[in-house]
């Protein structure tokens, strides 16, 4: 795409400059040849005027001169040495070249007029009567005024002797023709040199122009691919420079806005995550809260039941917790809750779900775990709680937990298994606390 733009720009520049060169060349050529024609005409007129005045001066008047000698004969005689005179018509073109001193120059140059043909002009007397018709008018005929408009006066001592009307184009001299040919040649050379220069400059300029645009296109492509922060080189203060500056500014603004957006998005995501965590965690113990536990438990219960897998559920309650609060302080009670939470969390599998169900009540779901295995695990937990160095919190402190366990997936809903476990907990409390009760451990609950 860029290359085609470069080619287009180059072609446009080359065509423009070549057109300018052609126009200049044609105008110069036209002006030069027009000027040469004009100069040749002026020279011819000067010669003609000199011949006419000399002719009239020689014999007194045109008419008297005509009685003695024809004008053509006079002109030939005037310009050539007598020994070269012949009857050959002068205007047919001289066969030889005459030097300024009247000597013949050899070798003769064929077809080259020595001076402008004498009858390049029609000659009229001051009243408009034809003296020399030039083949167009008869002698003695009157030329209409309109035809006399371009006539030049032939003067002698401030007197108009006659009028000369130019007809046809003068023949250029060999020197003039050489000049013209040289000028034409120079113009052709100039045309080629200017053409080469135009091509070179065209490529150079288009490269400069298109390279700025190329850089911009590449930067936009990179932006499309996600790299919003782009910086292109600013070349000068022209339109491409302004464009590049504006692009850099926009790119920086866009990248900045995007970074801010990303940052706020990250903050929002983090906050959402935090809020979600807060909504499912118990503030004091950092275990899952009751609401989240119920959601997960209902799902797991349905899943295990559906695929006929085992699942055990334990509910535990700290023994005489009210007494701990009352005897040691509410803060100590909180410390106890946190310590029990730590034991439950750290001593169960990651796949087990541990939650604070309320007050001093804790629940654990053991997925894929049959009752006997869960009972052994609960017994281990019970012993860990009992064996915890509570004296580090208070020298007289001793904490135990009663637990109820159930794995009855034949029950219809999770709430039923919860109630079954709660019944076993109730039995554990009734049987003297610090023990685990479940159907499998009937008739006695696991004790110390």
Q: Which residues bind ligand GTP (CB under 6 A)?
A: 284, 317-323, 325, 330, 333-334, 337, 359-360, 429, 433
The residue whose Cβ lies closest to ligand GTP is 333
Task: Kindly provide the b/e burial profile for residues 188-227, where b requires at least 16 CB atoms within 10 angstroms of the residue's own CB.
Answer: eeeeeebeeebeeebbeebeebbebbbbbeebeeebeeee
Shortest reach from residue 323's CB to ligand GTP, in Å: 6
Is residue 316 within 8 A of residue 377, CB to CB? The reply is: no
Looking at the Cβ atoms of 317 and 407, the one nearer to ligand GTP is: 317
- Residue 209 CA to residue 10 CA, distance in Å, equals 10
Shortest reach from residue 269's CB to ligand GTP, in Å: 31
- Residue 30 CA to residue 411 CA, distance in Å, equals 116
What letter does residue 302 receive in the DSSP assignment? H
Shortest reach from residue 331's CB to ligand GTP, in Å: 7
Shortest reach from residue 313's CB to ligand GTP, in Å: 19
348 CA to centre of own chain:
62
Which residues of 213-305 form beta strands (DSSP E)? none
Looking at the Cβ atoms of 171 and 402, the one nearer to ligand GTP is: 402
What letter does residue 448 receive in the DSSP assignment? -
Looking at the Cβ atoms of 294 and 325, the one nearer to ligand GTP is: 325
Looking at the Cβ atoms of 275 and 284, the one nearer to ligand GTP is: 284
389 CA to centre of own chain:
73
Instruction: State the first-to-last Cα distance of the chain, in angstroms, to the nearest integer.
Output: 87
Residue with tokens 């295990």: 304
Looking at the Cβ atoms of 51 and 317, the one nearer to ligand GTP is: 317
Looking at the Cβ atoms of 102 and 358, the one nearer to ligand GTP is: 358
Which of these, 115, 67, 53, 110, lies nearest to 90 by C-alpha position?
115
- Residue 327 CA to residue 325 CA, distance in Å, equals 6
Shortest reach from residue 253's CB to ligand GTP, in Å: 53
Shortest reach from residue 322's CB to ligand GTP, in Å: 3
| Widest Cα–Cα separation across the chain | 177
Q: Is the peptide bond between 165 and the residue preceding it cis, with omega within 30 degrees of 0?
A: no
Looking at the Cβ atoms of 165 and 287, the one nearer to ligand GTP is: 287
Is residue 124 within 8 A of residue 163, CB to CB? The reply is: yes
Looking at the Cβ atoms of 212 and 285, the one nearer to ligand GTP is: 285
Q: Is 84 helix (H, G, I), strand (E, B) or coil?
A: helix
Give rounded-to-5 percent helix, strand, coil for the chain.
60, 15, 30
Shortest reach from residue 433's CB to ligand GTP, in Å: 6
Which of these, 396, 397, 401, 385, lies nearest to 433 by C-alpha position?
401
Helices and strands of the chain, counted as H and E runs: 10, 11
Shortest reach from residue 354's CB to ligand GTP, in Å: 16
Looking at the Cβ atoms of 202 and 333, the one nearer to ligand GTP is: 333
Looking at the Cβ atoms of 245 and 334, the one nearer to ligand GTP is: 334
Shortest reach from residue 397's CB to ligand GTP, in Å: 13
Shortest reach from residue 265's CB to ligand GTP, in Å: 37
């Amino acid at each position: 795409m860029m290359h085609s733009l470069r080619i287009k720009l180059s072609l446009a520049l080359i065509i423009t400059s070549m057109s300018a060169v052609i126009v200049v060349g044609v105008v110069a050529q036209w002006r030069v040849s027009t000027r040469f024609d004009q100069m040749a005409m002026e020279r011819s007129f000067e010669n003609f005027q000199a011949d006419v005045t000399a002719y009239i001066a020689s014999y007194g008047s045109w008419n008297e001169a005509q009685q003695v000698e024809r004008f053509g004969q006079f002109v030939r005689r005037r310009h050539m040495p007598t020994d070269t005179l012949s009857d050959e018509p002068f205007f047919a073109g001289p066969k030889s070249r005459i030097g300024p001193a009247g000597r013949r120059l050899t070798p003769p140059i064929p077809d080259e007029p020595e001076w402008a043909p004498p009858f390049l002009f029609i000659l009229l007397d001051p009243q408009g009567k034809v003296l020399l018709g030039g083949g167009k008018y008869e002698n003695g005929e009157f030329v209409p005024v309109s035809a006399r408009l371009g006539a030049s006066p032939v003067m002698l001592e401030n007197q108009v002797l006659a009028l000369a009307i130019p007809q046809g184009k003068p023949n250029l001299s060999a020197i003039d023709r050489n000049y013209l040919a040289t000028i034409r040649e120079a113009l052709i050379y100039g045309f080629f040199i200017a053409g080469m220069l135009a091509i070179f400059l065209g490529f150079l300029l288009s490269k400069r122009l298109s390279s700025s645009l190329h850089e911009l296109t590449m930067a936009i492509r990179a932006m499309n691919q996600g790299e919003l922060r782009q910086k292109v080189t600013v070349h000068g203060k022209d339109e491409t420079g302004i464009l590049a500056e504006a692009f850099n500014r926009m790119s920086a603004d866009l990248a900045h806005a995007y970074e801010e957006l990303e940052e706020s998005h990250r903050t929002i995501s983090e906050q959402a995550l935090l809020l979600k965590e807060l909504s499912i965690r118990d503030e004091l113990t950092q275990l899952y809260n009751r609401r989240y536990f119920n959601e997960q438990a209902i799902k797991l219960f349905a899943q295990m039941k559906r695929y006929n897998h085992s699942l055990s559920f334990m509910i535990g309650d700290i023994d005489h917790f009210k007494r701990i609060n009352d005897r040691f302080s509410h803060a100590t009670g909180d410390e106890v809750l946190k310590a029990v939470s730590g034991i439950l969390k750290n001593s169960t599998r990651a796949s087990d779900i541990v939650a604070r169900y309320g007050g001093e009540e804790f629940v654990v779901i053991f997925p894929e775990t049959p009752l006997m295995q869960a009972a052994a695990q609960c017994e281990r937990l019970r012993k860990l709680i009992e064996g915890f160095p509570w004296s580090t919190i208070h020298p007289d402190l001793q904490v135990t937990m009663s637990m109820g366990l159930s794995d009855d997936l034949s029950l219809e809903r999770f709430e039923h298994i919860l109630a079954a476990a709660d019944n076993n907990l109730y039995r554990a409390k009734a049987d003297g606390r610090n023990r685990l009760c479940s159907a499998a451990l009937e008739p006695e609950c696991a004790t110390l």
